[in-house]
Amino acid sequence: MTFHRTVALPYALVALIVAALLVLVAPAGQARVSAVGLLDYTKKNFKVGDWVRYRVDVSNDLGNEDMNYQEVRVVGEDTFRGEKCFWVETWYGPDSLKASYDLALVSYDVFKDPDSDLRYQLYVRMVLYGMDEEGIADLVELRPSTASKDPDLRPLRGQRDTLGVESVATAKGSIDGRLVQLQRKLRNPRQMADSTVNRITDMVRKTWVSRKIPVTSVVKEEEVNKRLIQSYAVGQPSTSAPENMIETLYRTATVVNWGTGARSELLENWRKHRGFMRPNSQGAGVGIEDPTDMPR
């Protein structure tokens, strides 16, 4: 896939993504994780080069456990189709050499949206599709679907409560963080031949927030995510059937370090070998007729 092809952003996908902050994914090399949803969109809390790293511990009620690190970096800026944007790189894995990497271009207009905590995905302009045969990042442009109305995602926000300020122990010492608790229960009913199967996610997330932490403002997160299933006959109310537990997932993400001066080999190699298409260029990219639209 070349960079000049575009992909309409399906709003159903957005609805599935909005719940993600720090995300449990498959081991490095099998999947990528994007931390675009983890940024603090209430007010810009970074400059280009800022980065933050977390230790992420995950487990379930079956006794399975895993530990990885996740680093979020703001690695550049570009003007794309007249919009000022910034690049977010994420790596996730046991260390930076064995990690999976992701890269995304986000419009600064996201900071103007009062519902950006839910709608941030609508401001992603480019995403990493994979690596091409030459080992260069293969970036795809995202455009909102013209067939759909702007979605109202506020019902997905759940119940949010601020519970005061607490001291959080980290690898860099204790940090005072404002504790915010989010409770959200999402149902995904599917109609079968003679019944309805309802898959349910019941999540409680505690987040300790401090502007001392660049990029994300997150000091620590603790999350308990229960996956349940419910089945009931066609024509029967959902209240007639019990919600049966499938699995409970536990996740804790704690900041371990942060700083500035981050760079991205993915972005630098792409700019060198692909980049935005110049007028009459045959390379991969987005055609730009006005030289004033060229990235800095």
pLDDT of 31 over the 60 cut:
yes
Average pLDDT, integer, range 24-50: 78
Is there a contact between 96 and 235 (Cβ–Cβ < 8 Å)?
no
The rounded distance, in Å, linking the Cα atoms of 87 and 2 is 19
pLDDT of 175 over the 80 cut:
yes
pLDDT of 145 over the 70 cut:
no
Phi-psi region of 215 (alpha: psi -120 to 50; beta: other; left: phi over 0): left
What percentage of the chain exceeds 70 in pLDDT?
Answer: 79
pLDDT in tens, 56-92: 999 999 899 999 999 999 999 999 999 999 999 999 9
Predicted pLDDT at 146:
61
* Alpha-carbon dihedral sign for residues 57, 61, 65, 66: negative
pLDDT of 196 over the 90 cut:
no
Predicted pLDDT at 22:
42
Q: Which tokens go with 189? A: 């009913």
Model confidence band, residue 181 (pLDDT cutoffs 50, 70, 90): very high
pLDDT of 24 over the 60 cut:
no
Q: What does pLDDT average to over the chain?
A: 80
Model confidence band, residue 149 (pLDDT cutoffs 50, 70, 90): low
Average pLDDT, integer, range 140-144: 80
Model confidence band, residue 25 (pLDDT cutoffs 50, 70, 90): very low
pLDDT in tens, 255-290: 999 999 999 999 998 888 877 643 333 333 333 333
pLDDT of 194 over the 50 cut:
yes
Helix, strand, coil share of the chain (percent; to 5):
15, 50, 40
Return the exposure string of 61-96: e unless at least 16 CB atoms fall within 10 Å of the residue's CB, then b. eeeeeeebbbbbbbbbbbbbeeeebbbbbbbbbeee
Predicted pLDDT at 237:
72
- Helix (H, G, I), strand (E, B), or coil: what is residue 144? strand
